[in-house]
Each structure stands twice: as structure tokens, then as C-alpha cells.
Amino acid sequence: MTDSPLRIATRQSPLALWQAEHVAGRLRAAHPGLVVELLPLSTRGDEVLDRSLAAIGGKGLFLKELEVALAERRADLAVHSLKDVPAHLDPQFELAAILARADCADAFVSNDFAGLDDLPHGARVGTSSLRRAAQLRARQPGLDIADLRGNVGTRLAKLDRGDYAAIILAVAGLQRMGFDARIRSRLAPPDWLPAPGQAAIAVETRAGDARVIECVSVLDDAETRRSVAAERALNAELGGDCTMPLGAWCETLPDGTLHLHGLLGDARDGRVLRADARGGDSAVLGREVARLLRERGAEALLRERG
């Protein structure tokens, strides 16, 4: 490494800053003497909070400003929650490192109820995710599912003031922000599927930027990369839409084989299609589970959405 500071583009939310600081700390530990600076930026996804993510263009809105900073060389890398990164990355960028995954489950959070099955008919549940809404409707058809935007603290505050009977958040996000005690129960795979790449932190760089890629490669976790590659391949094969109600979870079996579980749902009526397959190649496995979902009606479901 040279003496030049390494600049990390990040969103300004507390969780995004935690993730960027985590990456910065890991890099400083791996490369003594390396100077790492943060470049906090506001994204359209953070600014527009009065409409759902699906209505304003999906989770990719959390990346654009950070990628502009990379392209303009105001930043050397960007740190993201991998679940927010579209399946089809602009070819001028690459994911140079994917850190070891944390707990990928969703969390049921409530002040009055211990679990999802304890909610009464008509209870109001907050989530900004079509994937979560589809699984909620499939499991509890009588719930009132309402949009919930904002950072983790804002969402918890809305729960605490009585706007919702319960909210669904990511376990990893709550744990990273020190809110472990707010988790009443885990909604865990394979019964309940997370978003592709959920709980993994991704480091994005300019494609071919050898200096930066070499620096951050020490953070890459091979097993996590292999698993999330299968999940992202499934997403890409079905269209790569961040607003798609798609759940995916890939586990590594004791013999090294990958087992990919996929789910495509309808957030309006709770219809859910499921498929799973095993294999050794992430890309092939993603395509296979997509094929199985299509056999079970995925194309018709996607047409109805559009």
C-alpha cells in the first residue's frame, strides 16, 4: 500500500456508518499505518421516506450516490449491506470483498407479543419489504401490513409510540446497533427466507483498481461469497429486481455441497412459490432454482406484479 489515505463512501445512517467503521477498523488492523477516512453521503433512498422503496425504484437507490463518488474518484471504495446491491452490478465496479456473514434471519420485534403466531387478527405489522410482506400474508392472512421506513432507531421509535403491534427487521442490523434485547423471536431459514445476501457486508471498488482491490481482499470470506453468489444468481435469473418479493438462502452442507432455498411471493395476497436444489456451482445452482420456480408459476406471478 501507498501512503495515500483510503476513502470509504458510505450512507449517513447509523447502521451504514457502523458498517463503514467496521470495515475501516478491519483494514487498519490488517495494514498497520494505513490511513482510512469516511465520506458520508446522503442517498435518494435515505431522503425519500414518505413512499415505499418499491414506489421510488427499489434498494438500488441506496447505491447511486456512492457509486458516483467512486467514479469521480472522491472515494476509493464503498461499503454496502449486500442485500441492497442489485444483482446486476455496473461493469465499471466490482465487489472486491464480501465479509463473513452475520445472522441472516429476520427479527420479530414487539412490545406486547412474543412471536408472529401470537398476533391477533387485524394486528398492524410494519415492514418496508415486499418479501417480508408476502411471507407475513402467507403465514397470517388477517394481518394489517403497513409500510415502515427510516433507520433502525426511527423504526423502533414508531413501534414504541404505538404505531404498530410489531415490526420486522433484520437480526444483524439490530445486533450491530446494540439492540439485541429488542428481538422477541427469530424468523429463520429455511421456513422464513431472508433477502439475497442479507447480513453480509460488501465492499465495492472501481473495476480493476489493483491497489484498492489488493488492500481490501484480506476481508473477503470465501464461504460467504460462494453462498451469496448462489442467492444473487437466483435473483439475477429472475430479473435482478430489488423490489421483487424474493427470498433466498444458501447453506453449505458438511460435504461442501451448496443447498439453495428460494421463495417468490406476492405481497398483496400472500401466494408463495418455493423451490430448492443442491449443487457445487453457485451460478448453476441459482439458475436451477429459478427454473424450478418458473415451473411452479413464477412467470405468471411476475407478470401480475408488472
Kindly list the catalytic residues.
84
Can you say whether the dihedral through the CA atoms of 167, 171, 172, 178 is positive or negative? positive
Count of C-beta atoms within a 10 Å radius of residue 172: 24
Q: Which three cell numbers stand for residue 145?
A: 401490513
Can you say whether the dihedral through the CA atoms of 91, 44, 7, 31 is positive or negative? negative
In a 10 Å sphere around its CB, with 0-12 CB exposed, 13-18 middle and 19+ buried, how is residue 275 labelled?
Answer: buried
Are the CB atoms for 6 and 76 separated by under 8 Å?
yes
Residues 261, 62: Cα–Cα separation, whole Å: 26
Q: Which three cell numbers stand for residue 95?
A: 465487489
C-alpha 17: how far from chain center: 16
Residues 127, 52: Cα–Cα separation, whole Å: 10
